[in-house]
Chains A and B, each alone.
Chain A
Amino acid sequence: MTQATTNSSVPRAYLSRRYHLSASHRLHTDAFSADQNRAAYGKCNNPHGHGHNYIIEVTLGGPVDPITGMVCDLGALDAFAREHLLDRFDHQNLNTLPEFQSSVSTTENFTREVHRIFTAFPHAQLTGIRIEETSNNSFEYAGPDSNRKAQSL
């Protein structure tokens, strides 16, 4: 029977899970005139909005449990993501949600919001959020205190 070893000798790994959600948004700030908004945001300022299939990549780090071989229980992570991410944002207009009443619904701000949400996940430490807005654009955030480049550690 394996005896749990001291924490310093337990390997530390990172688990990443990707979630898919579709939402609309419009980039616009009341701090700018209509002309300034068009200049700053271009086609993303279209008053009727537009949408994306977002891919939300959540990375958690921690010691690999010597018994289960896991950083955390994937079922618990999926349940947390269902309740706090997918049920709140999937098939919504981001601009209508409370999170984006005082900040523009850019994917930079969305990434920070999703980071704030997963900081509360109780079973492992969040190390970073990466969101693909399109296959060409992605955004990463590792928290307010981190200078870590999320993909290169």
Chain B
Amino acid sequence: MVLLTRKAEFSSAHYYWNDAWSAEENQRVFGRCANRNGHGHNYTLEVTVAGEVDPVTGFVVDLKQLKEILEHEVIHVYDHRHLNLEVPEFAERIPTTENIAISIWDRLDGKIPNARLHRVRVYEMPDLFADYYGER
């Protein structure tokens, strides 16, 4: 088995807010991230797939095909969007880095031919990232 990782980038706005809480409670828990006007990041996505190397092509997956799947399933939906307001899974779920990694996993799971999704890593900033391996 070989692991293969493809990177992609998207730039999005978001904020952290729980409607069930008071403004004070949101401010206390989420701090600056609770600003309802939103703020944004340049996210870096790393998708790692696991599979056997095809003896003919020498590929685990066709990288061009993987790139197109990431573009279609994730980048096209997230890039230059407000995650809370424009991406359906974040209407009810706060777009934390952890939840973004989980949501990207759910978008990609089962859609990559000949390989198994191994890890989704999302960098919100170079010094902060979340990993999701599909564990529930």
Contacts and interface: CB of A to CB of B under 8 A. Distances in A.
Q: Which of A16, A18, A71, A73 has the most CB of B within 10 A?
A: A16
Interface stretch (B56-64, B87-95, B109-117): B87-95
Given A9-B136, A68-B94, A15 B130 contact: yes
Interface residues of B, number: 28
Interface residues of A, number: 27
A70 B96 contact: yes
B129 to A, nearest CB: 5
A10 B30 CA distance: 21
A64 interface: yes
Interface string B21-34: 00000000111000
B92 A2 contact: yes
Interface in A12-30: 12-20
5 contacts: A12-B135, A13-B130, A14-B132, A67-B20, A153-B119
B95 A13 contact: no
B71 interface: no
A152 interface: yes
A1 to B, nearest CB: 6
A11 interface: yes
Given A13-B131, A18-B128, 9 more contacts: A2-B92, A9-B136, A10-B136, A11-B132, A15-B98, A17-B128, A64-B102, A69-B98, A71-B130
Q: Which of B18, B126, B136 has the most CB of A within 10 A?
A: B136
A18 B99 contact: no
Q: Which of A14, A18, A20 has the most CB of B within 10 A?
A: A14
B102 A67 contact: no
B97 A15 contact: yes
Contacts of B135: 11-13
Given A13-B101, A69-B95, A1 B20 contact: yes
B29 A73 contact: yes
Interface in B45-92: 92
Contact of B130 (A2, A14, A73): A14
B3 interface: yes
Contacts of A8: 136
A13 B127 contact: no
Given A18-B126, A70-B96, A11 B131 contact: no
A69 B99 contact: yes
